[in-house]
Amino acid sequence: MREVTCELCPRACVIPEGGAGDCRVRVNLGGKLRATTYGRPSAIHIDPMEKKPLYHFRPGSPVFSIATAGCNLHCLNCQNWQLSQRGGEEMETLYRADPPDLIKAAREEGCRSIAYTYSDPIVFYEYVYDSSELAHREGLANVFITAGYINRKPLRKLCRVLDAANVDLKAFDEDFYRRVSDASLRPVLDALVTLREEGVWLEVTNLLIPTLNDDLAMIRRMVRWLRDELGEGTPLHFSRFQPQYRMRNLPPTPAEALDRARREALDGGLKYVYIGNIPGHEGGSTYCPTDGTRLIGRTGFWITENRLTADGRCPTCNEEIPGVWE
């Protein structure tokens, strides 16, 4: 039996010949590990950058977004489970698109960025890497939307070709990761630090689930860690939970819980804290941390106002707002 050990993510799956890793899409064929969804995306969309969510990276621009089947996490509340919790052979749609095809399509659709998103792009790592490398050569940016459950070595290599990332930090609690996502927190924190060290533009999302990860003391610990390890200018998005997949027993997050979390994070020293999945909420806009001027107004994923100067400053007090504003 020619077993192999996958070293891409912390699961370190030992895969027998003919078997697949926990992600379902990395398969041992004849003693060689094969990335079965390379060049075979199952979702291709053009989204606004705000949907990722990335609020400080090319605001308002369309981003060519792709995903393949599979995921290395198994969150009970997954909102893309039809894609993430299946293998490629189970997909209703399977496109053929090698990296040059992707870049060509993105250009034709007027997108200056490509997002690897929806499921966790870690599991189609090689496809992301090759596409990103080519995208850079063609002047396109790459954004990586992930839960960050990846080993350091492959992530460092990938950072060479990434421009921005949003990491879904699911909770600041090992027990939550174990029970809800069948994973662990530590590698995710390591990934956040690596992305910061490598200079990839970084934003963090925390989906607030009633009773499971909305404890203010835990949020306070998370905010302190983010401020100290990643910096006070790191945007944090508190996102509203909607019951789905295997977690239909809990209600949507009340707006008040999101407000409380946002207030806690602002008080804890983070400068850009957002509320997501509540269209029209004031927490969806960007404010100057010095004088409170509304800099970018948003309703849902749409920008209603952009008062940032061309070099990314507050027009009132000249405060520099971190981000990629080109």
Partner 1 sequence: MRNDTHRDGTEREWRRTGRRRFLGLLSGLGAAGLALPFPSVARGPRERDLKEADFYRPHDLAG
6 Rama class: left (phi>0) / alpha (psi -120 to 50) / beta: beta
List 10, 34, 62, 242, residue binding partner 1 (CB under 8 A): 34
188-247 residues in contact with partner 1 (CB under 8 A) are none
129: contact with partner 1 by CB under 8 A: yes
Looking at 73-81, 123-131, 286-294, 306-314, which segment touches partner 1 (CB under 8 A)?
Answer: 123-131
142: contact with partner 1 by CB under 8 A: no
4: contact with partner 1 by CB under 8 A: yes
161: contact with partner 1 by CB under 8 A: no
From CA 299, how far away is CA 164, in angstroms rounded?
A: 22
From CA 264, how far away is CA 261, in angstroms rounded?
A: 5
Cβ-based neighbour number of residue 15 at 10 Å: 18
Question: Shortest approach of partner 1 to residue 14 CB, angstroms?
Answer: 5
Query: With CB under 8 A, what is the number of residues at the site for partner 1?
Result: 27
List 20, 36, 144, 278, residue binding partner 1 (CB under 8 A): 36
Residue (29 or 255) nearer to partner 1, CB? 29
14: contact with partner 1 by CB under 8 A: yes
List 77, 151, 166, 253, residue binding partner 1 (CB under 8 A): 151
Q: Are 3 and 13 in contact (CB under 8 A)?
A: no
Looking at 124-132, 240-248, 268-276, 279-287, which segment touches partner 1 (CB under 8 A)?
Answer: 124-132
From CA 255, how far away is CA 236, in angstroms rounded?
A: 16
List 11, 22, 24, 39, residue binding partner 1 (CB under 8 A): 39
Q: How far is CA 87 from the centre of its chain?
A: 21
List 11, 26, 86, 281, residue binding partner 1 (CB under 8 A): 26
127: contact with partner 1 by CB under 8 A: yes
For residue 53, whether the previous peptide bond is cis, meaning omega lies within 30 degrees of 0, is: yes
Q: Which residues, including other chains, have CB under 8 Å from residue 84's CB and lie 6 or more apart?
A: 69, 70, 71, 73, 78, 118, 119, 120
Residue (25 or 185) nearer to partner 1, CB? 25
DSSP 92-157: S------HHHHHHHHHHTT-SEEEE-SS-GGGGHHHHHHHHHHHHHTT-EEEEEE-----HHHHHH
From CA 156, how far away is CA 198, in angstroms rounded?
A: 7
19: contact with partner 1 by CB under 8 A: no
Question: Shortest approach of partner 1 to residue 130 CB, angstroms?
Answer: 9
Which residues bind to partner 1, rule: CB under 8 A? Answer: 2-8, 14-15, 26-27, 29, 31-36, 38-39, 125-127, 129, 151, 153-154
